[in-house]
Structure 1
Amino acid sequence: MGLASAIFMASAASSSRFLLRPPFTTFSPNLQLSVNLNFNGKPSVTVQKIGNLSVNRRRRSSIRRDKCRRLCCSQVRIEYGTDEEACELVNGIEVSIGEGSETVAAYLLTAVKNNNGIGILLLSDIFGFEDSSTRDFAYRIACNGYNVLLPDLFNGDPWQKERPMALFEPWLATHTQTAGTNIAASIKWMVDEFVAAEIVNKLGIIGFCFGGGKVIDVLSEDSDHHFGIGVSFYGTRIQPSVAGKVKVPVLYITGDDDPLCPVKLMEDIERDNVGGSKVVVFKGRGHGFVHRPASNEEDKDAEEAFMILRNWLQNGLVAEGK
């Protein structure tokens, strides 16, 4: 049974249980449903259906949706024998992980038709999990058959562009520990709901900027080997000594004009890391060009980077799991 359809629904017999339905079971696009979900008998997760993403989320432009079709579905059709309809069958659900005041808000996107049963934890940059660019990217990953969990790392207080930069370091110091706690809770949720349900043996983790740095922290401490692969897009504040502890393949993508993710650092990590890591450097590109392209030239490189990401996930998670 794949999570492809593993849209989470309450049964008539037990409205508080968290159940995985057979493939292709989905909510109707306009249905809103809240259910309490139990782990070992304790209610801990609340889910609300917010509509099929093909109907278009308020923040999603038709241009970005068309790009998803062009980039994702055409590729999936060629390699997996599915069709363009797959992009129209991505479902988005609001998820609240944990209990009481320590709950973590998150967004779960699941591919329905072409789902491969693999979970991806996506860590945002400092602008948070509700940022439209990050959610667009999560949607595009789900278009390719993955189940993407996008958690709130900052408890509803992401960095705002209008804030004075003098406040950034204090804000970051306050929220770094919060992010770590929320990531740990998200990993536990994914392990409970994906691995324990025998849907997938390995998970993937992807991050941008701040989240890209956290990818390395998470993998360096993954003693239970939950993650089989990682992707760090221009990760910030990466420590080579920490990266050296990672034992799984990591794809590093950055630009050669990005002072926040120096190419020299990436090259050193690629040379020393025993996990089979790969570094891809885009010439003339600065910070954030993959999920926030600012020109036609950057958009072309962003599309190429997405292709590299897709192949990395396919070879490292989908092919390995067969």
Structure 2
Amino acid sequence: MGWSSAPPVFSAWPVYKQHYRGRPPVSSVPQLHLSRCKFDPGRPSISFPKGKTNKFEVSCSQVEVEESLSDEACELVNGTELIIGEGDESISAHLFQAVKNNNATGILLLSDIYGFEESSTKDFAYRVACNGYNVLVPDLFHGDPWTKDKPMSYIEQWLAKQNRQRVAKDVFASAKWMMNEFAAVGISKKLGVIGFCFGGGRVVDILSQDQDTCFGAGVSFYGTRIESSAASNIKVPLLLIAGDSDPLCPIDVLEDIEKRNKESKMVVFRGRDHGFAHRPQTPEEDEDAEEAFKIMRDWLHDGLLVQN
């Protein structure tokens, strides 16, 4: 369908605005304080009017995306806190919405064990939105994320409570909400899905179950507890990003996924441990995090914008 030049907006009313000139680096993204609003399915929609690196294996897209955004491109991002659904099955979520350069494409971002409100996850979601997307970050843990003050001896007990079927149900409910928002304004586009750590492992689960229905591309950052056999059922492009010094995301598991699925590609960074791409701890990690972000950005551009 045709597009007007006005930016698309969702029916969940935006209540936060933060101006930025250019694309902020990871360390400079502001801590967002999002106001609350409950999604009302009966509310009328607002109409849409759109060098050398240390990685030793790189399989990414052929389409080049602009290296840096112009001063005008990332001027405004709206953030809203939502409640999707009702009662015990309701899901809290943050929506980060590009305004001026919105490409009318949705992304689900699945958090690590620290949950959807952790600052590094929100910072990353902001950056993705800054590149034109509408990013929904659902609460995968229903208000009970892992916290750093908990003893590690409890981690397995806590993980056992995060039922994969329940998590998948929440992810698909979140995806359906976003797709309904697009359908309400006459736009039909498949979503992207990004995940870190726990969420990165669930990206593989979700895409294997989805079978090219909701999602058009996925990115898994150092996914944990991945069942590589599930990759045989994935029908869309899947990018796997990890470090070769990460015991939580063995490279041989990612290699097995590549063997099982021709739609998957792997990028491995030398000397990098878990979490480097969304929670860099050193200048060297920050440099690789920037490179990983660019690779992810190109991958999503090819899989969600060029293909559609």
TM class by smaller structure: 0.7 to 0.9
Is contact 1:195–1:202 with CA below 8 Å preserved after alignment?
Answer: no
User: What secondary structure sits across from 2:289 in the alignment?
Assistant: helix
The separation in 2 between residues aligned to 1:48 and 1:224, in whole angstroms, is 30
Residue identity in the other structure for 1:119: G
Is contact 1:94–1:107 with CA below 8 Å preserved after alignment?
Answer: yes
Name the structure 2 match of 1:185.
Answer: 173
The separation in 1 between residues aligned to 2:213 and 2:4, in whole angstroms, is 21
The separation in 2 between residues aligned to 1:48 and 1:175, in whole angstroms, is 31
Matched, 1:261 2:249: yes
Q: Identity across aligned pairs (percent)?
A: 56
Give the direction of change, closer, same or farther, for the CA distance of 1:272–1:61 in structure 2 (3 Å limit): closer
Q: Select 1:65's aligned residue among 9, 17, 29.
A: 29
Is contact 2:121–2:278 with CA below 8 Å preserved after alignment?
Answer: yes
Name the structure 1 match of 2:19.
Answer: 54
1:73-110 Cα shifts (integer Å, max 9, x gaps): xxxxx839973133221111111100123211101111
Cα RMSD (Å): 2.5
The separation in 1 between residues aligned to 2:154 and 2:297, in whole angstroms, is 37
Matched, 1:228 2:216: yes
User: What secondary structure sits across from 1:172 in the alignment?
Assistant: helix
1:109-147 Cα shifts (integer Å, max 9, x gaps): 111111111100110001000000000000000010011
**Which has more helix, going by share of residues?**
1
Name the structure 2 match of 1:106.
Answer: 93
TM-score, normalised relative to structure 1: 0.77
The separation in 1 between residues aligned to 2:148 and 2:6, in whole angstroms, is 36
Name the structure 2 match of 1:6.
Answer: 8
The separation in 1 between residues aligned to 2:192 and 2:109, in whole angstroms, is 9
Residue identity in the other structure for 1:185: A
Shift of 1:64: 1.6
Shift of 1:245: 1.2
Give the direction of change, closer, same or farther, for the CA distance of 1:53–1:62 in structure 2 (3 Å limit): farther
Q: Select 1:249's aligned residue among 215, 221, 237.
A: 237
Shift of 1:199: 2.3
The separation in 2 between residues aligned to 1:179 and 1:53, in whole angstroms, is 31
* Alignment of structure 1 residues 270-289 onto 2, 5 Å: 270-274=258-262, 276-289=263-276
1:9-28 Cα shifts (integer Å, max 9, x gaps): xxxxxxxxx4xxxxxxxxxx
Name the structure 2 match of 1:134.
Answer: 121
Is contact 1:2–1:199 with CA below 8 Å preserved after alignment?
Answer: no
Is contact 1:2–1:115 with CA below 8 Å preserved after alignment?
Answer: no
User: What secondary structure sits across from 1:94 in the alignment?
Assistant: strand
Q: Select 2:283's aligned residue among 296, 299, 307.
A: 296
Give the direction of change, closer, same or farther, for the CA distance of 1:224–1:268 in structure 2 (3 Å limit): closer
Shift of 1:299: 0.4
Matched, 1:202 2:167: no
Q: Which runs of 5+ in 2 are unaligned?
A: 31-64
Matched, 1:92 2:56: no
Name the structure 1 match of 2:39.
Answer: none
Residue identity in the other structure for 2:77: V
1:193-243 Cα shifts (integer Å, max 9, x gaps): 124543242111110000001111110011462111100000011111111
Residue identity in the other structure for 2:148: K
The separation in 2 between residues aligned to 1:209 and 1:171, in whole angstroms, is 15
The separation in 2 between residues aligned to 1:5 and 1:154, in whole angstroms, is 32
Name the structure 2 match of 1:13.
Answer: none
Q: Which runs of 5+ in 1 are unaligned?
A: 9-17, 19-46, 67-77
The separation in 2 between residues aligned to 1:149 and 1:3, in whole angstroms, is 23
Residue identity in the other structure for 1:249: P
Once structures 1 and 2 are overlaid, which stretch shifts more, 136-145 or 80-89? Answer: 80-89
Residue identity in the other structure for 1:163: K
Greater RCO, 1 or 2 (C-alpha within 8 Å, sep 6+): 2
Give the direction of change, closer, same or farther, for the CA distance of 1:171–1:116 in structure 2 (3 Å limit): same
The separation in 2 between residues aligned to 1:6 and 1:243, in whole angstroms, is 34
Shift of 1:2: 7.6
Residue identity in the other structure for 1:51: Y
Give the direction of change, closer, same or farther, for the CA distance of 1:231–1:174 in structure 2 (3 Å limit): same
TM-score, normalised relative to structure 2: 0.80
Residues matched between the structures, number: 268
Is contact 1:2–1:117 with CA below 8 Å preserved after alignment?
Answer: no
Residue identity in the other structure for 1:65: V
